[in-house]
Amino acid sequence: MEEEIRFLYGGISGVELAAESFELGEGVVLRRTYAHLMSPCIMAFARPGPHRYHPGPWKAAKGGFGYDIEVEVRSPPRTCLGDSFDARKTIWWIAALLRLAKAPFLSVPVLSDHPFQSVPGIEEECTLQPFETEQRLFQVAEPSNRVIEETTLSWVKEKWIPAGNLLSSNSKFYTAFRAFDCATVRGPTSPSLLALWGGLEQLFAPSPGELRFRVACLLASYLEQQGSPRFDLYKQILTLYNERSVAAHTAQEIDTGPLLHTYVLMRNALLRMIDENKVPTQADLEALLFGCEDA
């Protein structure tokens, strides 16, 4: 008798699906659902009794959080990406690609060992575990931006396995992508900016010497053709790197403008690497810098 596959389900908040469901392959499926995760703040005013709970009265305090779960991603315990991708990592990876492609405000605040719509009718104990409960830095600008269309889903379907192999095989890409994804968690802007620049330096700085010039030259060469657009981007990157230095060496808080511009730069670089299924080497970047792309 074939063993039953024990799927894990990630509850996605912040977006909706245009379709009822969408298969990504390897048993990974995105589909509509609904649940609400809430964590109110409650205060007790007496020490716990013999049964280790605080007796009443309890009072509600301001704060806490709540998430509407409108999409779930189903993941099997294993895919063709191998042992380095368990179900939890696969769920994170799908969510991270959706954040990269379309919705940086998306989060997966809860995991379940059963489909969310089936949980109320299950007599056995279900495991519901908080996952990405931090608020995201970016907010949805228009309600229509919450809808994940088929074009975005098709891109994720095409890329999640080859890009997952790239993530597993290239430590620089892994470190940079993790830094990029963590930078969208809400908090002070300075740590987010430093995380983004740490990722860019990982990808575009072959040595610790003169990082500002090297990163600006190589990143501009990677993202723009030779000529004035490349030079203009180079100057923009130098300015943004100055903001990174302020964040690193002072207690001054950084405006969101440089953070957003740096985020877009890194997003464009990561998207190109995923689309080409390649992280550029030092030789590749130098060839771009000196106009020898065909070398």
- pLDDT at position 254 is 64
Q: Are 227 and 280 in the same domain?
A: yes
Assigned domain for 46 exists: no
pTM (2 d.p.)? 0.85
- pLDDT at position 63 is 84
- pLDDT at position 294 is 53
Burial 176-215 (b: 16+ CB within 10 A, else e): bbbbbbbbbeeeebbebbbbbbbbbbbbbbeeeeebeebb
- pLDDT at position 207 is 61
Q: Are 142 and 264 in the same domain?
A: no
- pLDDT at position 249 is 54
Domain that holds residue 221: 170-295
Residues of the chain short of pLDDT 50, as ranges, are 1-3, 295
Q: Are 209 and 131 in the same domain?
A: no
Assigned domain for 178 exists: yes
Q: Are 141 and 179 in the same domain?
A: no
Assigned domain for 56 exists: no
Q: Are 122 and 83 in the same domain?
A: yes
Q: Are 198 and 232 in the same domain?
A: yes
Q: Are 12 and 141 in the same domain?
A: yes
Assigned domain for 224 exists: yes
- pLDDT at position 180 is 95
- pLDDT at position 1 is 34
- pLDDT at position 171 is 94
Q: Are 236 and 104 in the same domain?
A: no
Q: Are 221 and 277 in the same domain?
A: yes
Burial 24-49 (b: 16+ CB within 10 A, else e): bebbbbbbebebebeeeeeeeeeeee
Q: Are 139 and 29 in the same domain?
A: yes
Q: Are 114 and 190 in the same domain?
A: no
Assigned domain for 277 exists: yes
- pLDDT at position 252 is 59
Assigned domain for 3 exists: no
- pLDDT at position 105 is 94
Residues 90 and 99 sit within 8 Å (Cβ to Cβ): no
| Token duo for residue 270 | 């990561």
- pLDDT at position 208 is 55
- pLDDT at position 2 is 39
How many domains does the chain fold into?
2
- pLDDT at position 71 is 98
Assigned domain for 158 exists: no
Domain end call among 118, 148, 178:
148
Q: Are 28 and 99 in the same domain?
A: yes
Euclidean distance between CA atoms 218 and 227, whole angstroms: 14
Residues 234 and 288 sit within 8 Å (Cβ to Cβ): no
- pLDDT at position 256 is 80
Assigned domain for 244 exists: yes
